[in-house]
């Protein structure tokens, strides 16, 4: 399914060579849609600038790899997407341990801010000239100079906590006071700390501390799990778009290993991905209603959503976290006898979703709360490399399903919805339109699904040293997985970028000069998923603020509770009823 124009490939190669001004070390083409350039780190800024100016390249993520065991150096890799050319461009820079620094590109692309801080925390390569080089993801009491993603750092090592540490948070400007939102706050289902600087009810600035939820998933991926175990780990990155992450990981490995997935498996993946979008968008609609106090929308949207969950349960055995994906295809087929029920459920959901749409489209109070609220301009959406519905609501017409077709989207192209105002209302409209479009896609997918095997017949080893980049359009936006294959039946490096990662970086621009009352819905309109975003590093969660409990004590308490069993509210598994 190569949609790549060879002339463009040549053009990009020439451009990179020209901009690198002699710093280009090698240029390879690992896959038809992937170009990889190795550049001396002195040339990185010029090449990035050139790519953006010449091709409107969109920054995806940076990957910091400890390649010392192989090459003797660290490797910093910036990933770009040329959306219209359906091309990924990988810019890799070797960085020696002695001079662990690289020029920051955040000044050129504000969207690289977190990515650079992340490799600074995890690998210990300093982005030189970064405007805000504070710690991003490691806990505040994590000692300096301990880099958890280095190969010589064991996955289960718990460093002694640093003493006398405080979150590195900015102070409010004079005259403003701090209104904390979080780390635990009613409308944020997961911990995140937004430090709002307010004058009266109006916001004059904000600072944030996130990454309270690291689970060390990437570290586990390259040190403990094997290729075939990671899909289940990946699925647990997110409680809502789990199938997206497992698909995205599998696709990255399949691409790296050159495994061809059967058409039937591709169709079933598409159907499950779209079902996930349907229930995720309904979930979001409910939460958005809840945030502005419209509980009826919450209750009704979730009632409409429930049959989709039952359907997924009937297909996979689980409401969520289906466990269907494996490298090369699927472990579980979509049985033919479920099709009538699937179509029936879709018809019902469609009917009710249309009713909800007409109810909210004409609601003037809803308009009052969402129109002109949390505006993300087209310019900033591009600068911060925002993805998914927030990007499309700001007039950035990107969608991984069209730009880098995967699964069966080459045969089932979606109609994407775009809006130009970039406000909360636009994001509502984009999502509701997408919801109905997904229903159409599932319907067409079910009717066009081909017969055949559901998993590739792949025997033998996955060769080491191969790269694979995969994107999947999650309900929240594009998820990116990067895999560098390793030798011991596991990736050497597995990098995950969830869609909320770039989207959250747009929040300060969106809430500037807003009213306090608008912050929750502005944040909520991004459909943020913190557990997705915060997947890195083993964390020693010593609750240092509350000195009553040590980590060991907490562990002991929870173990005791676990042994008790009965009081945990465990419910018997629904056996027969599940497969009615």
Partner 1 sequence: MAEYPWACGPSEEKKLTVDVTPAKAGVHVSPEGAGFPFAREGPVRADFLESPGAGDTPRRSAMTAWLIKVLTLCLLNVAAALLLSPLFEGLMRKLRAAIHSRIGPPIKQPYWDILKLLGKEDLRTTGGVVYASLPALTLGSVLLLAALVPMGTGAPLAFAGDLIVVLYVAAMSSVLLMLAGFASASPYASIGSSREMMMLLSVEPTLAIALAVGAFKAGTLTLGGIVNWQVQNGPSISMAIGGLAFFLALQAVAGKLPFDVAEADQEIMGGSLVEQSGPRLALFRWAMWTKQLVLALLLVQVFFPWPHYGIYPIDLLLTMVKVLVVLILVTVVDVVNPRLRIDQAMGYFMRVAVSSLAALAFAVIGK
Q: Which residues bind partner 1 (CB under 8 A)?
A: 177-180, 185-187, 201, 289-297, 299-300, 303, 363, 365-366, 368-369, 515-520
Query: Which CB sits closer to partner 1, 34 or 300?
Result: 300
How far apart are CB 171 and partner 1 at their closest, in Å? 16
How far apart are CB 289 and partner 1 at their closest, in Å? 7
How far apart are CB 543 and partner 1 at their closest, in Å? 21
How far apart are CB 186 and partner 1 at their closest, in Å? 6
Token pair in block for residue 132: 């805000």
Query: Which CB sits closer to partner 1, 473 or 527?
Result: 527
Give dist(CA 560, CA 564) in Å, integer.
Answer: 6
Token pair in block for residue 540: 């020693």
Query: Which CB sits closer to partner 1, 39 or 523?
Result: 523
Q: Cβ distance 467 to 482 under 8 Å?
A: yes
Q: Please state at what angle helix 263-291 crosses helix 339-361, rounded to 10 degrees.
A: 30
How far apart are CB 367 and partner 1 at their closest, in Å? 10
Give dist(CA 227, CA 253) in Å, integer.
Answer: 8
Comparing C-alpha atoms, which of 209, 158, 175, 219 is closest to residue 551? 158
How far apart are CB 179 and partner 1 at their closest, in Å? 5
3-state secondary structure 56-88: CCEEEEEEEEECHHHHCEEEEEEEEEECCCCEE
Alpha helices in 292-363 (DSSP H): 295-316, 339-361
Query: Which CB sits closer to partner 1, 18 or 517?
Result: 517
Query: Which CB sits closer to partner 1, 96 or 515?
Result: 515
How far apart are CB 296 and partner 1 at their closest, in Å? 5
How far apart are CB 193 and partner 1 at their closest, in Å? 14
Query: Which CB sits closer to partner 1, 180 or 340?
Result: 180
Query: Which CB sits closer to partner 1, 57 or 360?
Result: 360
Query: Which CB sits closer to partner 1, 213 or 515?
Result: 515
Cα dihedral sign, 331-335-341-346: positive
Distances (CA, A) of 410 to 244, 435, 559: 17, 20, 49
Comparing C-alpha atoms, which of 284, 230, 320, 305 is closest to residue 477? 284
- Tokens 């993805």 belong to 387
Give dist(CA 187, CA 521) in Å, integer.
Answer: 9
């Amino acid at each position: 399914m190569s949609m790549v124009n060879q002339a463009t490939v040549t053009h990009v190669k020439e451009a990179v060579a020209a901009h690198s001004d002699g710093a280009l070390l090698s240029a390879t083409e690992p896959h038809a849609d992937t170009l990889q350039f190795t550049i001396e780190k002195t040339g990185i800024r010029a090449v990035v600038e050139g790519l953006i100016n010449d091709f409107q390249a969109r920054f995806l993520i940076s990957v910091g790899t400890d390649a010392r065991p192989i090459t003797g150096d660290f490797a910093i890799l910036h990933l770009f997407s040329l959306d219209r050319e359906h091309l990924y461009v990988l810019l890799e820079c070797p960085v020696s341990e002695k001079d662990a620094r690289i020029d920051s590109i955040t000044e050129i692309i504000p969207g690289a801010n977190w990515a650079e801080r992340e490799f600074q925390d995890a690998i210990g390569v300093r982005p030189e000239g970064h405007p805000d080089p504070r710690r991003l993801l490691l806990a505040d009491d994590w000692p300096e100079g301990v880099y958890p993603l280095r190969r010589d750092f064991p996955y289960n090592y718990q460093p002694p906590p640093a003493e006398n540490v405080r979150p590195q948070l900015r102070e409010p400007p004079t005259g403003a006071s701090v209104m904390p939102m979080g780390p635990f706050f009613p409308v944020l289902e997961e911990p995140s700390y937004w430090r709002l600087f307010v004058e009266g009810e109006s916001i004059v600035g904000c600072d944030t501390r996130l990454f309270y939820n690291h689970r060390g998933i990437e570290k586990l991926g390259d040190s403990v799990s094997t290729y075939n175990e990671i899909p289940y780990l990946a699925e647990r990155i997110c409680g809502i778009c789990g199938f997206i992450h497992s698909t995205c990981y599998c696709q990255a490995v399949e691409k790296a290993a050159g495994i061809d997935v059967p058409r039937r498996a591709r169709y079933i993946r598409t159907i499950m991905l779209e079902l996930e979008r349907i229930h995720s968008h309904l979930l979001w609609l409910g939460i958005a209603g809840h945030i502005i106090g419209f509980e009826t929308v919450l209750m009704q949207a979730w009632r409409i959503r429930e049959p989709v969950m039952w359907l997924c349960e009937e297909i996979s055995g689980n409401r969520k976290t289906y466990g269907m994906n494996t490298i090369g295809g699927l472990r579980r087929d979509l049985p033919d006898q479920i099709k009538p029920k699937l179509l029936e459920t879709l018809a019902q959901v469609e009917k009710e979703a249309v009713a909800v749409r007409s109810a909210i489209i004409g609601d003037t109070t809803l308009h009052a709360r969402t129109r002109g609220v949390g505006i993300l301009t087209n310019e900033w959406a591009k600068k911060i490399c925002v993805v998914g519905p927030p990007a499309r609501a700001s007039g950035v017409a990107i969608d991984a399903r069209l730009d880098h077709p995967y699964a069966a989207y080459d045969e089932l192209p979606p109609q994407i919805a775009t809006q130009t105002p970039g406000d909360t209302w636009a994001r509502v409209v984009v999502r509701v339109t997408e919801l109905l479009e997904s229903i159409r896609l599932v319907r067409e997918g079910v009717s066009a699904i081909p017969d055949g095997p559901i998993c590739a017949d792949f025997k033998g080893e996955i060769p080491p040293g191969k790269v694979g980049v995969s994107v999947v359009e999650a309900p929240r936006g594009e998820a990116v997985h990067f895999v560098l294959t390793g030798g011991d039946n596991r990736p050497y490096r597995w990098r995950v970028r969830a869609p909320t990662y770039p989207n959250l970086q747009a929040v300060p621009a969106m809430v500037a000069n807003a009213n306090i009352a608008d912050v929750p819905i502005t944040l909520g309109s991004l459909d943020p998923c913190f557990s997705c975003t915060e997947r890195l590093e083993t964390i020693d969660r010593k609750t240092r603020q509350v000195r009553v409990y040590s980590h060991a004590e907490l562990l002991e308490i929870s173990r005791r509770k676990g042994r008790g069993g009965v009081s945990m509210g465990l419910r018997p598994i629904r056996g027969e009823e599940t497969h009615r």
